[in-house]
Amino acid sequence: MESLERATEKASPPLRRRLNLRRPWCIALLVAAAIVVILAIVIPCAIILPKKHSHSGKASKVLYPIYIYPETNSTWDPLYKAISTHPELDFVIIVNPSSGPGSSPPDTQYQVAVNRLSSYSNVQKVGYVPTEYATRNISAVLDDVATYANWTSESTSLSMDGIFFDEIPYDWNSTKSEYLIRINEAVKNSSGIHSPHLVIHNPGTIPDARYDQNTTDITVVFEQSYDYYETQVTALDALGTKNRTEYSYMLHSVPTMTNSSLKSLVDDISYRAEYLFVTTLNSSYYEQFDSHLEQFCDVVPTSSK
């Protein structure tokens, strides 16, 4: 019996040591299990919840197409209100009387509307000219530029500050490149177009880099729906932010959002483009006013915000 007790006493210490060695492994397993549970909760939430941005946006301007005939003096009131209630925000207004300049000078009603735009210090006006992807007769394009320039002779308040060339080619063609150089020069050299003689190109997508010319001031590198924008973020990011002052994004069919969600979207795109247009309308978005115009203008970042 005594020998058995001594044997038991000798056996006990190793048993205790084995138990002590197992405890860290148990703790490690419990910690690992806890981490798995936490990740199972956190990862889905991160996917579902909107991303938070670490920036508050960069100072931007509104590029606004007004393709609405001013039937009365109050027709453009939503635009006038947005401009007057946001004096710290600059607007570049695309004037489009008739898929181009139409008559020279424009009719009296149109003159009244444009004159009122000119009364705001935070507004620049550019005339709309289609190019049909550089297939339209170049003489017709140059005539449109000259027509806008001639408005100045009627009244300096009718003067354009530049031209918005629509339907610009994005796939490279040397002949089309020469075409674009010529129409750009017509704007830059026109005495009837006011300084800064803005030249805006709208291919609606990222154009071939060989079209990058120093006479083009702004390029609309995205003109599509919000849903399509979601699929193009990677390609747009590849342009970088260095030349954001030369880019414009125009988004339509944007879902109705809270102010904070809309601000997050606008802040995000402002990091890559300085000239912005966002509308919730999903059709005729340039021919009618969006009821959320004020909300959009409220969240566009400016240097004074």
Give me the pLDDT at residue 103, please. 84
Give me the pLDDT at residue 41, please. 44
Give me the pLDDT at residue 154, please. 87
Contact 300, 264 (CB under 8 A): no
**Measured between alpha carbons, how far is 239 from 13 in angstroms, rounded to an integer?**
70
**Residues whose CB falls within 8 Å of the CB of residue 168, separated by 6 or more in sequence, listed in order:** 131, 133, 134, 180, 201, 202, 203, 207, 211, 219
Q: Which CATH number fits domain 61-299: 3.30.300.130, 3.40.190.10, 3.40.50.1000, 3.20.20.60?
A: 3.20.20.60
**Measured between alpha carbons, how far is 85 from 47 in angstroms, rounded to an integer?**
37
Q: CB count, 10 Å around CB of 7?
A: 10
Its sign, for the CA torsion 185, 189, 192, 196, is: positive
**Measured between alpha carbons, how far is 34 from 240 in angstroms, rounded to an integer?**
41
User: Average pLDDT of the chain?
Assistant: 87
Q: 91-95 and 198-202: which strand pairing?
A: unpaired
| CA atoms within a 13 Å half-sphere pointing along the CA-CB vector of 39 | 6
**Helix, strand, or coil (residue 221):** strand
Domain boundaries in the chain?
Answer: 1-49, 61-299
Contact 108, 143 (CB under 8 A): no
% of the chain with per-residue pLDDT over 70: 81
20-52: per-residue pLDDT in tens? Answer: 434 554 455 555 555 544 444 444 444 333 344
Q: Which residue has the higher pLDDT, 213 or 168?
A: 168
137-147: per-residue pLDDT in tens? Answer: 999 999 999 99
pLDDT at 187 over 60: yes
**Measured between alpha carbons, how far is 272 from 270 in angstroms, rounded to an integer?**
5
Per-residue pLDDT, averaged over 281-300, amounts to: 97
**Helix, strand, or coil (residue 39):** helix
72-112: per-residue pLDDT in tens? Answer: 999 999 999 999 999 999 999 999 999 999 988 899 999 99
Please work out, in degrees rounded to the nearest 5, the angle formed at the alpha carbon of residue 225 by the alpha carbons of 259 and 298: 25
Sheet strands (E) in the chain: 61-66, 91-95, 123-130, 162-166, 198-202, 218-225, 247-252, 275-278
**Helix, strand, or coil (residue 249):** strand
**Measured between alpha carbons, how far is 6 from 40 in angstroms, rounded to an integer?**
53
Contact 176, 169 (CB under 8 A): yes
Per-residue pLDDT, averaged over 49-77, amounts to: 84
Give me the pLDDT at residue 69, please. 97
258-281: per-residue pLDDT in tens? Answer: 999 999 999 999 999 999 999 999
Give me the pLDDT at residue 238, please. 94
HEC-encoded secondary structure of 100-115: CCCCCCCCHHHHHHHH
Give me the pLDDT at residue 33, please. 54
| pTM reported for the whole predicted model | 0.82
**Measured between alpha carbons, how far is 121 from 228 in angstroms, rounded to an integer?**
35
Per-residue pLDDT, averaged over 193-205, amounts to: 97
Q: Which two tokens stand for residue 267?
A: 């802040």
125-177: per-residue pLDDT in tens? Answer: 999 999 999 999 999 999 999 999 999 988 899 999 999 999 999 999 999 99
**Measured between alpha carbons, how far is 105 from 127 in angstroms, rounded to an integer?**
13
Give me the pLDDT at residue 116, please. 97
